[in-house]
Every structure is written in structure tokens, then in C-alpha cells.
Amino acid sequence: MTAKLQVRVLDARFGSEWELPSYATPGSAALDLRAALTEPLTVAPGQTELVPSGLSIYVADPGLCAMILPRSGLGHKQGLVLGNGTGLIDSDYQGPLMISVFNRSQQAFTIAPGDRIAQLVIVPVVQVELDLVDSFTQSERGEGGFGHTGVN
Ligand SMILES: O=c1ccn([C@H]2C[C@H](O)[C@@H](COP(=O)(O)OP(=O)(O)OP(=O)(O)O)O2)c(=O)[nH]1
Ligand SMILES: [Mg+2]
């Protein structure tokens, strides 16, 4: 499925020095986000920093949201993940898109201006109306969880 996403460029380096986010391959699920930094940023082990993406987005449709996810290579090999686990962007948010980076490794990691440090995926959302009930119709799983079904 494709849809339009309203984007405002907040950093003039997009369109000159940096390409706007795009899908790397036809089947890519996410757009890479760049670090719109003015100088390199060294993230010490265990440190969290808020990095501007240089963009703002307006999802607008309450049936969609955006999520900021770590990039696999950075997260797995360098230990650069997100300070908030996953960034959830509400459909009505119009402010600057910010990336919380967390260096979970034992080594300092330096982010250069323009580096692609995270990725943005647009996902469907269902807003629910709470239906208060006294009990649930029994399911096969019931209350079993947290390893209930075993390992093998
Ligand atoms: O990684 C992120 C996470 C959030 N946001 C922006 C968009 C989102 O819509 C807004 C609020 O995020 P969230 O609801 O997760 O945070 P909160 O702590 O509940 O803040 P609020 O009280 O503003 O909802 O902050 C970002 O720019 N980057
Ligand atoms: Mg919130």
C-alpha cells in the first residue's frame, strides 16, 4: 500500500548535501532518517542524546502512525539503538521529528552530520472504544503466557 506523507524540510542541507529519505529498494518497509547535526556527535557508552532529523512530518490520518526504529546494522553491530525503545509519532504531531539515540555498547560512537541513524515506518492504527465486560469468553490460551507454550 502507498500513501502520501506530508513532510516539511527544516534543514536546508536536504536537497543539496543530503538526499531526502527514500525507500532503498522496492520492498523496503522504512525510510532512513539522517542525523541533522552541525558537527559530529560522540555518544559515550550508556549515554542518550536527542538528535534532530531535520524534518517534520504530519501523518494526519488517525488510522496511521509513524514509528522510529533502530537500523539493524547500527543496533546489532555498534550498539546504537533508541533511547525510547521505539519512537511513536502520533498522526496529529506536527513538531520536529526527533531521534533519541542510546549507545548501549562499551565503546563511544560518533555520529557524523547526515549519517542515517534510524528508520521511519508508517503503520496502520486501530483506535478502539473500550468495551467493559465482567469476563471473557474462554480462549484456548486463557491466562497462560510468558513461556506457557514451552520452548520446543
Ligand atoms: O522518538 C520520538 C518519539 C516521539 N516524538 C514526538 C512525536 C510524538 O507524537 C510526540 C509525543 O510522543 P509520545 O506520545 O511517545 O511521548 P509522550 O512522552 O507521551 O509525550 P506527549 O505527552 O507529548 O504525548 O513526540 C518524536 O519526535 N520522536
Ligand atoms: Mg503521548
ipTM: 0.97
Mean pLDDT of 137-147: 96
pTM (2 decimals)? 0.95
CA distance 55 to 34: 9
Is 121 exposed, middle or buried, given 0-12, 13-18 or 19+ CB atoms closer than 10 A? middle
| Ligand 1, atom 13, residue with closest C-alpha | 88
User: Does the annotation flag 71 for ligand binding?
Assistant: yes
C-alpha 55 – ligand 1 centre gap (Å): 15
C-alpha 152 – ligand 2 centre gap (Å): 39
DSSP state of 25: S
CB 70 within 8 A of CB 104: no
Q: Is the CB of 100 under 6 A from ligand 1?
A: yes
The edge-to-edge listing of strands for the beta sheet with 31-34 is 31-34, 116-124, 64-70, 87-89
Q: CA torsion sign, 102 to 38 to 65 to 133?
A: positive
User: Would the pLDDT of 4 be above 90?
Assistant: yes
Per-residue pLDDT tens over the stretch 37-90? 999 999 999 999 999 999 999 999 999 999 999 999 999 999 999 999 999 999
User: Does the annotation flag 152 for ligand binding?
Assistant: no
Q: Is the CB of 88 under 6 A from ligand 1?
A: yes
Confidence of residue 146 (pLDDT cuts 50, 70, 90): very high
Measured at the alpha carbon of residue 120, what is the angle toward residues 95 and 65, in degrees to the nearest 5?
A: 65
Is 97 exposed, middle or buried, given 0-12, 13-18 or 19+ CB atoms closer than 10 A? buried
